[in-house]
Amino acid sequence: MLEIDEQIQTTERLRELLPTEGFTNTFLKVSDRLNDVARKFIAHAPFVIVATKASEGLIDVSPKGDPAGFVEVYDDKTLIIPDRLGNHRVDGFQNLLEDPNIALLFIVPGHGDTLRIAGKARVVRDAAISKRHAFKGKEPLLALVIDVEEAFMHCSKSLIRSRLWHPDHWPVRKAAPTLAEWVIATVDREQTLDEVQDDHSADEGARLY
């Protein structure tokens, strides 16, 4: 079992170690709606990370991506995210049927800052939404409608430290494991690694939309 010097168990102790003094803007910058800055950022974002919570308490984090601006700002309190073809696990959708709380992290390539949004979400099927969000002739079957309760920009320190947008610091692509390797390691099946990879590559080529 991991041994540690101290487990932080109270807000008072947390704030003793990480005081609020000198960070006024950090706490005042939160908005309960989408202002023009948020709208512009979302319009430039091709990628958003979505967090939901299962009934048993586990948190699910799912990536969503499409051409920049694919998340619709319907009004200053409402966002719409079209659902594209995936792996049919629908963990996030199932979570939202039990707990509507949701959090979003919008990312713009090459940009250090990120946009964080939290609120309540509904899984919907709507003809008008599907038509508006059709891409390459394919309409999404479902969509997420998010009622915004909190929005704020997050500073760039983590992206600066990670050097995420600096290709000269990226690892060699083949050094990182693939989904196919994960399947081979966790699923009892007779396919070879190359066969699983071929299946995944074919799926990516045929089922983006």
Read off the pLDDT of residues 24-69 as tens digits, 9 standing for 90 and up. 676 668 999 999 999 999 999 999 999 999 888 889 999 999 999 9
Q: How far apart are CA 112 and CA 152, in angstroms?
A: 14
Residues 138 and 187 in one domain: no
Among 164, 47, 137, 51, smallest CA distance to 100 is for 51
141 and 62 in a common domain: yes
Indicate whether 53 belongs to any domain. Answer: yes
Q: Are residues 42 and 141 in the same domain?
A: yes
* CATH code, 44: 2.30.110.10
207 Cβ partners below 8 Å, 6+ apart?
Answer: 85
Residue 16 counted as domain residue: no
* 8 inside domain: no
Residue 20 lies in a domain: no
Residue span of the structural domain in which 63 resides: 30-162
Angle between helices 193-206 and 179-186 (to 10 degrees): 130
24: in domain: no
Residue whose C-alpha is closest to residue 99's, from 109, 107, 91: 91
Task: Provide the number of structural domains found in the chain.
Answer: 2
Is residue 79, in this structure, part of any structural domain at all? yes
Q: Are residues 152 and 57 part of one domain? A: yes
The per-residue pLDDT for range 107-163, each reduced to its tens digit, is 999 999 999 999 999 999 999 999 999 999 999 999 999 999 999 999 999 999 999
Q: Give yes or no: residues 45 and 94 share one domain.
A: yes
pLDDT of residue 137: 92
